């Protein structure tokens, strides 16, 4: 498979097994090009079809929950390859397919790329390549998609951006917490700081959403700390009995 030889066996397994990277040749039938899903009528029909499958009461909840899944898929492989492997996958809108496959119990969707080839970032132009990748991913794919979700469902843009932001935090603070290579750990820290402080233009938004929602962690009653969200993703509305995310603002301890 083209692209596989660019990575170590361990990194490729993480990209494909954990982060659900696949070739577009193996995409699910429930998939579309970015431009297609940004068409309001097409997007609305997809959300309406998906709602009963995931137990959602309507478009607003469905758009939020799907954005969480797409946020995981879109940021996971691209940013892991960038920081852990020092390689750039093509995560542009022309190379990505968006999947919404769900089996009624869990998401089964992947991130299909038309080309799995990547380029090495070992040279002197790494920062330029990183900026290009981030811009293509966030401003080129997410921003128009979130805007369409907002227009057809009424879901707040803040909620959609925070849904994506928490996926990035988890990737850098948890999934890449124990990288073996010291150089990879240094890249991880530098890239994460770049993402938190990058200009808003790279996201196609009036503010940097990754920096905007990166609040300090709050002490919890069990003696640990938790970074609570500022917006609720509405997951509890699609579960019965209601379930809540660990970082749900509805669970945040109130100040006395």
Token pair in block for residue 134: 């981030």
Q: How far apart are the first and last CA of the chain?
A: 58
- Strands 225-226, 218-219: pairing is antiparallel
Q: How far apart are CA 245 and CA 230, in angstroms?
A: 13
> Is there a domain that residue 122 lies in?
yes
Q: Mean of the per-residue pLDDT values for the chain?
A: 94
- The dihedral formed by the CA atoms of 108, 47, 142 and 42, expressed in degrees to the nearest 10: 120
Residue 234 lies in a domain: no
* CATH number of the domain to which 146 belongs: 1.10.510
Residue 237 lies in a domain: no
Question: Looking at the 3D structure of the chain, how many domains does it have?
Answer: 1
Given a cut of 70, whether residue 255 has pLDDT beyond it is no
Residue 230 has pLDDT above 60, yes or no: yes
Contact (Cβ atoms closer than 8 angstroms) between residue 81 and residue 176: no
Q: Is the pLDDT of residue 236 over 50?
A: yes
Report long-range pairs for 204-209 (Cβ below 8 Å, ≥24 apart).
Answer: 204/138, 204/139, 204/140, 204/142, 204/143, 204/144, 205/138, 205/139, 205/143, 205/157, 205/161, 209/138, 209/161, 209/162, 209/164, 209/165
The total number of residues shown for the chain amounts to 256
H or E segment and range at residue 47: helix 40-54
**Between 17 and 252, where is the model more confident?**
17
Q: Is residue 184 part of a domain?
A: yes
What value does the mean pLDDT take over residues 190-216? Answer: 97
* Average pLDDT of the segment spanning 89-101: 98
Residue 242 domain-assigned (yes or no): no
pLDDT category at 256 given cuts 50, 70, 90 is very low
105 CB-near residues (< 8 Å, 6+ apart):
none
Which tens digit of pLDDT belongs to each residue from 150-200?
A: 999 999 999 999 999 999 999 999 999 999 999 999 999 999 999 999 999
Q: Which two tokens stand for residue 69?
A: 């899944």
Q: pLDDT digits over 21-40, tens only?
A: 999 999 999 999 999 999 99
Write down the pLDDT at residue 254.
62
200 in a structural domain: yes
Q: How confident is the model at residue 119 (pLDDT cuts 50, 70, 90)?
A: very high
Q: Which domain holds residue 152?
A: 4-219
- Domain assignment present for residue 239? The answer is no
Question: What percent of the chain stands above pLDDT 90?
Answer: 81
């Amino acid at each position: 498979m083209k692209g596989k030889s660019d990575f170590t066996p361990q990194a490729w397994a993480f990209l494909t097994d954990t982060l659900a990277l696949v070739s577009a040749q193996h995409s699910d039938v429930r998939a579309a090009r970015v431009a297609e899903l940004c068409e309001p009528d097409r997007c609305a029909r997809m959300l309406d079809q998906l709602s009963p499958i995931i137990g959602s009461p309507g478009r607003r909840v469905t758009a939020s929950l799907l954005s969480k899944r797409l946020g995981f898929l879109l940021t996971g492989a691209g940013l892991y390859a960038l920081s852990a492997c020092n390689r750039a996958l093509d995560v542009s809108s022309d190379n990505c397919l968006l999947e919404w496959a769900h089996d009624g119990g869990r998401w089964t969707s992947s991130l299909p790329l038309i080309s799995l080839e990547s380029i090495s970032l070992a040279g002197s132009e790494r920062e330029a390549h990183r900026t290009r990748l981030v811009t293509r991913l966030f401003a080129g794919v997410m921003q128009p998609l979130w805007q369409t979700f907002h227009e057809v469902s009424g879901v707040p843009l803040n909620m959609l951006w925070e849904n994506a932001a928490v996926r990035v935090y988890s990737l850098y603070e948890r999934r890449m917490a124990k990288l073996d290579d010291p150089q990879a750990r240094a890249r991880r820290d530098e890239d994460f700081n770049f993402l938190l402080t990058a200009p808003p233009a790279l996201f196609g938004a009036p503010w940097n959403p990754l920096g905007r929602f990166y609040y300090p962690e709050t002490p919890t009653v069990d003696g640990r700390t938790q970074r609570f969200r500022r917006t609720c993703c509405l997951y509890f509305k699609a579960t019965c009995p209601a379930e809540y995310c660990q970082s749900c603002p509805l669970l945040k301890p109130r100040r006395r």
